[in-house]
């Protein structure tokens, strides 16, 4: 390869990488991050956005450059060069996507593990963990009636690292076209989810009729709520505020209207909310 | 090349003239064009349904049509576009027309089965759409028909939907068997597998996917219909059924279905680029292996549609890895296409503009696809407009762009006349701008909280939804220059001659349109379908 070509390729690649990094770090496409999981997600998003920008721009620039540089001049009836392949080149561009995909895969696995996604919710250690976390609380109806039937979702492993005390269990029932939140400890039933900042929350979810999905965009978390199969979703809210809960699985004519709110309180305000809404005047 | 009048060789009892396009013709070329025109009519139907969706979404309120009608419209839109437009056209239309030429045969292996496969489509399509006009009866559970929703929505429409999809699936299986038999068994003596044009490999891979996965969908939908009609409990949780099992079975077909829509497009692009760039297809062997790798990987990635369905962690991990690795063979194909263009003599005509835009759109959709394969990324955007944007970049920006490019490329062969280039470029411009305006903003909407399949949304999302609807309007307008072009040039277009592009693949080595027997006399032996640049000394004539 002539030295000038090599320099040009090097310069173009560097410019592309820098552009990708700049775009990934400076173009914000995401809503507010309001859970402990969200900043981790956003970091993954930045990496994917940077790599995606580099690849997309690189390929489009090559394509558009070829379309102009090698366009057929009027009157030119000749063919291009009879190049049928080039093994080293093909090895290079097998390696590029392979390396990108490996890197992205390992990185996102790490992110997923930090989110608690890799805990096997129906193996013994996980069940022990769930039992421990609910020792302070009265065992929830759901866990009592169906031990071992809790299937999937984002588990509580990520919670080990999270400070903030015992896990707050909330039972979620989804139906056409509403979510109902039941606090087994406080005996409160609500149409809105109220949670404190800093305390891990574990939603035990089941649907009554069709499949729904519980999604809070500001938490970057979603989990289907399925009839006949309980699912779990754990998170720790970090920023006080009111965020939408959106049903994300087609569930019937009013699917688009199946929305609620999650109200994230500072711990004191949450205690006050519990106090106000508890049917018994004493709360745990 | 001079050939005798094809009508001299009319030895069959088939009707002649325009009537044969409405007959049970056994001619693969007639059947191919039947698929193409029939598919395009359904594209207009599916497009009108898309227009209704985008009109509803101009405002945040559900105010254009009743909510259950909206769900019927989105269900029919998806079903029509997939099963009646893209799959039949990119497989049935171009496959039937081109494959016998490419293998050096006079027809498909099973001409009667071929005609049956086509004639299943119009009644199935009419059945599907007519269910819409039976009050409140069209299917409302999306093209995915997830139970228990599909068990609780009006039963008549759902059963008609199942029946229609079963017929279309049957048509698809018949076609797949026919392509495999034709490619493997009807090759002209002396023609080796590794000398076939790339579209043959794409159709071989696609047909393997069709034959392996479509029966699973058929079986699943039959069980679903039992649940609806006979109140069995396969997928009904109140009778002990399991709703997630349905999703596994459904996606075991419906993810390969993406490759059933996309691989033939890869094949068609591999035919168009070398002709208009006047260069051999770069890396023929790696292209073949890439197709087969995509076929294999395509069968083991289905559960990436189910990352929020409560699937166990090991399963999510496996399907993340398998899905990500599809990027490798796909990436090879795109780099090879770029290398095909590099150093060529590129004619920027309509066929080429659509093919190059396909590369841009598909790379974009592929990159968002690799992102979506990552479980933690997917958990946020699953079932949102991000996904809607992503798959339209794949199936519209990818496959439909290739269908249009192919139309400009092969129309001279179909009719013997050239399509008008000015109208073609106008069609391209409106489609490209409209498409990107329509679907690019949807990625942002999904990331920021707009779920898919909703008739109403947060008013904060109004502006981008309106931009998207304007894009949809441009896409609707883009069909006008196409329709005018196709109809007017069929009657008054510039005569094309037999080989206006001076191409080397076998379909161009006969008259336009070709005779019933495809070639007068023996089929030509084409061992170098992409041998451009080898014979520079010979004077050649190339159309603009």
Query: What secondary structure letter does DSSP report for B109?
Result: S
Of the candidates A29, A52, A229, the beta carbon closest to that of B447 is on A29
> Residue A235 is inside which H or E element, if any?
strand A231-236
Query: What secondary structure letter does DSSP report for A27?
Result: -
Closest CA to B185 of B173, B171, B200: B200
The tally of CA atoms less than 13 A away on the side-chain side of residue A204 is: 23
pLDDT above 70 covers a percentage of chain A that reads 81
Query: Which long-range contacts does B526-530 make (Cβ < 8 Å, 24+ apart)?
Result: B526/B104, B526/B191, B526/B195, B527/B190, B527/B191, B527/B192, B527/B195, B528/B195, B528/B504, B529/B102, B529/B195, B529/B196, B529/B197, B529/B504, B529/B505, B530/A84, B530/B197, B530/B274, B530/B279, B530/B280, B530/B281, B530/B284, B530/B504
Q: Environment class of residue B140 by beta-carbon count within 10 Å: exposed (0-12), middle (13-18) or buried (19+)?
A: buried
The model's confidence at residue B228, banded by pLDDT at 50, 70 and 90, is very high
Question: Whole-prediction pTM value?
Answer: 0.92
> Residue B185 is inside which H or E element, if any?
helix B155-185
| C-alpha span between B207 and B417 (Å, rounded) | 31
Closest CA to A201 of A140, A147, A133: A133
Close Cβ partners of B128 (under 8 Å, ≥ 6 residues apart): B76, B79, B80, B84, B160, B161, B164
Q: Environment class of residue B444 by beta-carbon count within 10 Å: exposed (0-12), middle (13-18) or buried (19+)?
A: middle
The answer to whether residue A143 scores a pLDDT higher than 80 is no
- pLDDT at B14 (0 to 100): 62
Tokens read off for B34? 């039947």
B130 within 8 A of B161, measured Cβ to Cβ:
no
Tokens read off for A53? 């920008």
B450 within 8 A of B457, measured Cβ to Cβ:
yes
Of the candidates A30, A108, A211, the beta carbon closest to that of B146 is on A211
The answer to whether residue A203 scores a pLDDT higher than 80 is yes
Mean pLDDT of B421-430: 96
CATH of A124-277, one of 3.40.50.720, 2.60.40.420, 3.10.20.30, 3.40.50.300: 2.60.40.420
The widest CA-to-CA distance across chain B, in whole angstroms, is 76
Of the candidates A63, A94, A97, the beta carbon closest to that of B359 is on A63
* A256 to B374: CB separation less than 8 angstroms, yes or no: no
**Residue in A closest to B240 by C-alpha:** A228
**Residue in A closest to B542 by C-alpha:** A77
- pLDDT at A11 (0 to 100): 93
End-to-end Cα separation, chain B, in angstroms? 19
Query: What secondary structure letter does DSSP report for B467?
Result: H
Strand A200-207 versus strand A231-236 pairing type = antiparallel
- pLDDT at B239 (0 to 100): 92
Residue whose pair of structure tokens reads 């690189």 in the numeric block: A58
Mean pLDDT of B280-306: 95
The answer to whether residue B174 scores a pLDDT higher than 70 is yes
Residue whose pair of structure tokens reads 């059945």 in the numeric block: B127
Segment B312-370, tens digit of pLDDT: 888 888 899 899 999 999 999 999 999 999 999 999 999 999 999 999 999 999 999 99
The model's confidence at residue B13, banded by pLDDT at 50, 70 and 90, is low
Mean pLDDT of B150-154: 92
Q: Provide the 3-class DSSP secondary structure of residue B485.
A: helix
* A211 interface with B at CB cutoff 8 Å: yes
Segment B355-373, tens digit of pLDDT: 999 999 999 999 999 999 9
Segment B468-504, tens digit of pLDDT: 999 999 999 999 999 999 999 988 889 999 999 999 9
The model's confidence at residue B157, banded by pLDDT at 50, 70 and 90, is very high
* B341 to A63: CB separation less than 8 angstroms, yes or no: yes
Residues 12-41 of A with CB under 8 A from B: 29-31, 40-41
Close Cβ partners of A88 (under 8 Å, ≥ 6 residues apart): none
> Per-residue DSSP letters for B204-262?
HHHHHHHHHHHHHHHHHHHHHHHHHHT---SS-GGGT--HHHHHHHHHHHHHHHHHHHH
> Residue B58 is inside which H or E element, if any?
none
- Nearest-5° angle of CA B496, CA B499, CA B500? 50
* A94 to B328: CB separation less than 8 angstroms, yes or no: yes
| C-alpha span between B86 and B77 (Å, rounded) | 12
Closest CA to A272 of A260, A283, A280: A283
End-to-end Cα separation, chain A, in angstroms? 75
The model's confidence at residue A163, banded by pLDDT at 50, 70 and 90, is low
Determine the distance in angstroms separating the CA of B519 from the nearest CA of chain A, rounded to an integer. 26
Residue whose pair of structure tokens reads 């006979």 in the numeric block: B230
Closest CA to B401 of B448, B434, B368, B367: B434
Tokens read off for B83? 């099963």
- pLDDT at B15 (0 to 100): 66
The answer to whether residue B184 scores a pLDDT higher than 70 is yes
Tokens read off for B454? 């909703």
The answer to whether residue B514 scores a pLDDT higher than 60 is yes
The model's confidence at residue B48, banded by pLDDT at 50, 70 and 90, is very high
Segment A211-231, tens digit of pLDDT: 999 999 999 999 999 998 899
Answer whether the bond into residue A217 is a cis peptide, omega within 30°.
no
The larger pLDDT score, comparing residue B443 to residue A129, is at: B443
- pLDDT at A83 (0 to 100): 86
Determine the distance in angstroms separating the CA of B36 from the nearest CA of chain A, rounded to an integer. 29
Residue numbers in A near B242 (CB within 8 A)? 228-229
Mean pLDDT of A155-179: 75
Instruction: Identify the bridge partners of residue A207 per DSSP, sorted by sequence position.
Output: A174, A227
**What average pLDDT does chain B have?**
92
- Nearest-5° angle of CA B384, CA B385, CA B387? 75
What is the torsion angle, in degrees rounded to the nearest 10, for the CA atoms of residue B464, residue B436, residue B362 and residue B357? -170
**Residue in A closest to B447 by C-alpha:** A30
* B454 to A256: CB separation less than 8 angstroms, yes or no: yes
- pLDDT at A193 (0 to 100): 96
B113 within 8 A of B26, measured Cβ to Cβ:
no
Close Cβ partners of B320 (under 8 Å, ≥ 6 residues apart): A105, A108, A109, B304, B373, B374, B375
**Residue in A closest to B69 by C-alpha:** A253
- pLDDT at B18 (0 to 100): 75
The answer to whether residue A15 scores a pLDDT higher than 90 is yes
* A231 interface with B at CB cutoff 8 Å: yes
A256 within 8 A of A281, measured Cβ to Cβ:
no
Query: What secondary structure letter does DSSP report for A31?
Result: -
* A109 to B458: CB separation less than 8 angstroms, yes or no: no
3-state helix, strand, coil in chain A (%, to 5): 45, 25, 35
Q: Environment class of residue B267 by beta-carbon count within 10 Å: exposed (0-12), middle (13-18) or buried (19+)?
A: buried
Q: Provide the 3-class DSSP secondary structure of residue B498.
A: coil
Determine the distance in angstroms separating the CA of A262 from the nearest CA of chain B, rounded to an integer. 14
| C-alpha span between A160 and A169 (Å, rounded) | 15
Residue numbers in A near B539 (CB within 8 A)? 77
Residue whose pair of structure tokens reads 């009608």 in the numeric block: B69
Instruction: Please give the CATH superfamily to which domain B25-508 belongs.
Output: Cytochrome c oxidase-like, subunit I domain (1.20.210.10)
Residue numbers in B near A152 (CB within 8 A)? 309-313
How many other CB atoms are found less than 10 A from the CB of residue B194? 10
Segment A101-123, tens digit of pLDDT: 999 988 888 888 887 776 655 44
Q: What is the CA radius of gyration of chain B?
A: 23
Mean pLDDT of A74-78: 86
Phi, psi of B352 (to 5 degrees): -75, -40
- pLDDT at A138 (0 to 100): 36
pLDDT above 90 covers a percentage of chain B that reads 85
ipTM of this complex prediction, to 2 decimal places:
0.91
3-state SS, one letter per residue, for B123-168: HHHHHHHHCCCCCCCCCCCCCCCCCCHHHHCCHHHHHHHHHHHHHH
* A80 to B345: CB separation less than 8 angstroms, yes or no: yes
> Per-residue DSSP letters for B389-417?
HHHHHHIIIIIIHHHHHHHHHHHHHHHSB
Q: What is the CA radius of gyration of chain A?
A: 26
Residue numbers in B near A72 (CB within 8 A)? 278, 345-348
- pLDDT at B311 (0 to 100): 83
B65 within 8 A of B140, measured Cβ to Cβ:
no
Segment B370-386, tens digit of pLDDT: 999 999 999 999 999 99
The answer to whether residue A239 scores a pLDDT higher than 50 is yes
- pLDDT at A82 (0 to 100): 86
The model's confidence at residue A202, banded by pLDDT at 50, 70 and 90, is very high
Closest CA to B97 of B410, B453, B373: B410
Of the candidates B237, B279, B338, the beta carbon closest to that of A81 is on B279
How many other CB atoms are found less than 10 A from the CB of residue B234? 19
**Residue in A closest to B348 by C-alpha:** A71
* B448 to A229: CB separation less than 8 angstroms, yes or no: no
The answer to whether residue B11 scores a pLDDT higher than 60 is no
Residue numbers in B near A225 (CB within 8 A)? none
Tokens read off for B44? 């207009």
Segment B20-38, tens digit of pLDDT: 888 888 999 999 999 999 9
Mean pLDDT of A58-74: 94
Domain parsing of chain A, residue ranges: 3-69+85-115, 124-277
Query: What secondary structure letter does DSSP report for B507?
Result: G
| C-alpha span between A217 and A266 (Å, rounded) | 20
């Amino acid at each position: 390869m002539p030295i000038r070509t090599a320099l040009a390729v090097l310069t173009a690649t560097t410019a592309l990488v820098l552009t990708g990094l700049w775009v990934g770090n400076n173009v914000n496409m995401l809503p507010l991050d309001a859970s402990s999981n969200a900043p981790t997600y956003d970091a993954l998003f930045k990496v994917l956005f940077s790599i995606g920008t580099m690849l997309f721009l690189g390929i489009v620039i090559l394509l558009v450059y070829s379309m102009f540089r090698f366009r057929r001049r009027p009157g030119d009836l000749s063919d291009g060069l009879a190049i049928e392949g080039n093994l080293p080149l093909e090895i290079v561009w097998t390696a590029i996507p392979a390396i990108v995909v490996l890197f992205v895969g390992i990185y996102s696995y790490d992110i997923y593990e930090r989110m608690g996604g890799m805990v096997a919710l129906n193996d013994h250690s996980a069940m022990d963990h769930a039992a421990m976390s609910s020792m302070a609380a009265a065992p929830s109806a759901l866990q009592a009636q169906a031990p071992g039937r809790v299937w999937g979702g984002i588990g509580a492993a990520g919670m080990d690292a999270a400070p903030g005390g015992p896990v707050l269990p909330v039972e979620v029932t989804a139906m056409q076209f509403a979510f109902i939140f039941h606090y087994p400890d406080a005996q409160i039933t609500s149409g809105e989810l109220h949670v404190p900042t800093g305390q891990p929350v574990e939603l035990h979810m089941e649907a009554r009729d069709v499949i729904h999905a519980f999604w809070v965009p500001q938490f970057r978390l979603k989990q289907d709520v399925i009839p006949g199969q309980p699912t779990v979703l754990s998170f720790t809210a970090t920023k006080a505020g009111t965020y939408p809960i959106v049903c994300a699985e087609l569930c019937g004519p009013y699917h688009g209207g199946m929305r609620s709110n999650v109200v994230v309180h500072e711990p004191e305000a949450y205690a006050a909310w519990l106090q106000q809404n508890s049917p018994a005047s004493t709360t745990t | 090349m001079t050939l005798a009048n094809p009508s001299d060789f009319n030895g069959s009892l088939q009707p002649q003239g325009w009537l044969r396009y409405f007959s049970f013709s056994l001619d693969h070329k007639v059947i191919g064009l039947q698929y193409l025109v029939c598919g395009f009519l359904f594209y207009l139907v599916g497009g009108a349904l898309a227009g209704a969706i985008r009109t509803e979404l101009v405002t945040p309120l559900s105010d254009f049509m009743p909510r259950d009608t909206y769900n019927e419209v989105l269900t029919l839109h998806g079903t029509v576009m997939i099963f009646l437009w893209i799959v039949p056209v990119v497989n049935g239309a171009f496959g039937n027309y081109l494959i016998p030429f490419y293998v050096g045969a006079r027809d498909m292996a099973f001409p009667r089965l071929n005609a049956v496969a086509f004639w299943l489509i119009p009644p199935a399509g009419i059945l599907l759409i007519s269910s819409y006009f039976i009050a409140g009866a069209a299917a409302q559970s999306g093209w995915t028909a997830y139970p228990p929703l599909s068990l609780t929505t009006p039963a008549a429409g759902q059963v008609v939907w199942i029946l229609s999809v079963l017929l279309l699936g049957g048509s698809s299986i018949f076609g797949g068997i026919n392509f495999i038999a034709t490619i493997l068994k009807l090759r002209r003596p002396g023609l080796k597998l590794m000398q076939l044009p790339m579209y043959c490999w794409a159709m071989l891979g696609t047909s393997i996917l069709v034959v392996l996965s479509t029966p699973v969908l058929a079986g699943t939908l039959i069980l679903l219909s039992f649940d609806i009609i006979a109140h069995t409990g396969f997928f009904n949780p109140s009778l002990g059924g399991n709703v997630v099992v349905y999703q596994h079975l459904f996606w075991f077909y419906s993810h390969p279905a993406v490759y059933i829509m996309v691989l033939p497009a890869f094949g068609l692009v591999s035919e168009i680029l070398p002709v208009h760039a006047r260069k051999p297809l770069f890396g023929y062997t790696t292209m073949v292996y890439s197709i087969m790798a995509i076929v294999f990987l395509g069968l083991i990635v289905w559960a990436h549609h189910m990352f929020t369905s409560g699937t166990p962690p090991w399963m999510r991990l496996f399907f993340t890895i398998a899905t990500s690795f599809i990027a490798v063979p796909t990436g090879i194909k795109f780099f090879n296409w770029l290398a095909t263009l590099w150093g060529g003599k590129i004619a920027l005509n309509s066929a080429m503009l659509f093919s190059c835009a396909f590369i841009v759109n598909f790379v974009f959709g592929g990159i968002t696809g690799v992102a979506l394969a990552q479980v933690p990324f997917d958990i946020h955007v699953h079932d949102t407009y991000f996904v809607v944007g992503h798959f339209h970049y794949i199936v519209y920006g990818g496959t439909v762009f290739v269908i249009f490019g192919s139309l400009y490329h092969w129309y001279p062969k179909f009719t013997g006349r050239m399509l008008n280039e000015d109208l073609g470029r106008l069609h391209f411009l409106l489609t490209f701008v409209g498409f990107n305006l329509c679907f690019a903003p949807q990625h942002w909407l999904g990331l920021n909280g707009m779920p898919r399949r909703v008739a109403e949304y947060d008013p904060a999302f109004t502006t981008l939804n309106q931009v998207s609807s304007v894009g949809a309007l441009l896409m609707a307008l883009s069909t006008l220059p196409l329709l005018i072009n196709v109809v007017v040039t069929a009657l008054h277009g510039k005569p094309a001659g037999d080989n206006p592009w001076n191409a080397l693949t076998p379909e161009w080595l006969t008259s336009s349109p070709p005779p019933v027997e495809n070639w007068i006399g023996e089929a030509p032996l084409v061992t170098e379908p992409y041998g451009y640049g080898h014979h520079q000394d010979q004077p050649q004539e190339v159309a603009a």
